[in-house]
């Protein structure tokens, strides 16, 4: 049976179709999910895509946290279903407390859009198994509220338990504490990151590399062999 991976569309989502395409290229069945629906349509995993959900009013991801679909996503994630939050999706994951910390305005107060070098710190999550710990990858980055922050106790816990999944290399683009670009929950089924792997799945677009495809092949293998 083909794995089904859902991608949620909120009002203001920009990268939902890119994420659906990445799922298809990896060999899974992409399933469009609507923010008003609690039914996840029997998907095996969920992607929360990038964009400006609800216009980023109040603060990025804060209103999406109350979307009907998120009640089911949170419940299923806590039961082990894999969830990937990309950029705005990462912001939503922190707002739902599926991941700790918060996202603040970039320290230079400007929107940033560039190819970003990352180091894979944890290749043991549901979304990173096709990478190697210590591997350098290039993934497009575009955000204005991308500065990851948390209290020192939380940061120390993330470091000690291997839950920092990605770290920025060759310069910190937004002032994220400890150069953190992505983190995971304790079980490793929920991962959030600011860069956009769905924009690095074909050689003709994005970075001109396919470094982001590993996110989607990783989860496919996890689901197939589960």
Q: What is the per-residue pLDDT across 150-177, written as a single tens digit (0 to 9) for each?
A: 999 999 999 999 999 999 999 999 999 9
* pLDDT score recorded for residue 206: 72
- Ranges of H-type helices in 68-193: 68-78, 88-95, 152-160
Catalytic-residue membership of 95: no
Mean pLDDT, residues 6-31: 97
* pLDDT score recorded for residue 48: 98
Catalytic-residue membership of 35: no
Given the residues 35, 95, 138, 196, the one annotated as active site: 196
* pLDDT score recorded for residue 92: 97
Burial class (CB in 10 A: 0-12, 13-18, 19+), 132: exposed
- Ranges of H-type helices in 100-150: none
Predicted TM-score (pTM) of the model is 0.96
The answer to whether residue 22 scores a pLDDT higher than 70 is yes
Strands 190-193 and 83-86, by their bridges, are: parallel
The answer to whether residue 122 scores a pLDDT higher than 70 is yes
Given the residues 121, 138, 198, 199, the one annotated as active site: 198
CA gap 135, 151 in Å, rounded: 27
What is the average pLDDT value for the chain, to the nearest integer? 96
CA gap 96, 158 in Å, rounded: 18
What does the block give as tokens for 25? 């290229």
* pLDDT score recorded for residue 117: 98
Given the residues 35, 87, 95, 121, the one annotated as active site: 87
The answer to whether residue 226 scores a pLDDT higher than 80 is no
Percent of the chain with pLDDT over 70: 99
Catalytic-residue membership of 29: no
């Amino acid at each position: 049976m083909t794995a089904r991976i859902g991608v949620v569309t909120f009002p203001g989502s920009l990268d939902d179709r890119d994420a659906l395409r990445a799922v298809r290229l990896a060999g899974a069945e992409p399933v469009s999910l609507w923010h008003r629906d609690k039914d996840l349509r029997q998907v095996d995993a969920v992607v929360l895509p990038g964009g400006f959900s609800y216009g980023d009013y109040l603060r990025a991801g804060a209103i999406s946290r109350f979307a009907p679909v998120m009640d089911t996503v949170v419940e299923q994630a806590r039961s082990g279903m894999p969830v990937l939050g990309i950029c705005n999706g990462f912001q939503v994951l922190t707002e739902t407390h599926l991941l700790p910390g918060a996202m603040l305005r970039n320290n230079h107060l400007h929107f940033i859009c560039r190819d970003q070098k990352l180091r894979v710190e944890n290749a043991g999550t549901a979304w990173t198994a096709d990478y190697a710990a210590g591997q350098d990858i290039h993934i497009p980055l575009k955000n204005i509220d991308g500065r990851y922050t948390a209290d020192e106790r939380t940061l120390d816990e993330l470091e000690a338990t291997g839950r920092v999944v990605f770290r920025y290399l060759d310069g910190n683009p937004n002032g994220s504490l400890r150069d953190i670009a992505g983190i995971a929950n304790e079980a490793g089924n929920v991962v959030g990151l600011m860069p956009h792997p769905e924009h690095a799945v074909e050689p003709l677009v994005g970075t001109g590399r396919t470094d982001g495809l590993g996110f989607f092949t990783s989860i496919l293998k996890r689901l197939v062999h589960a």
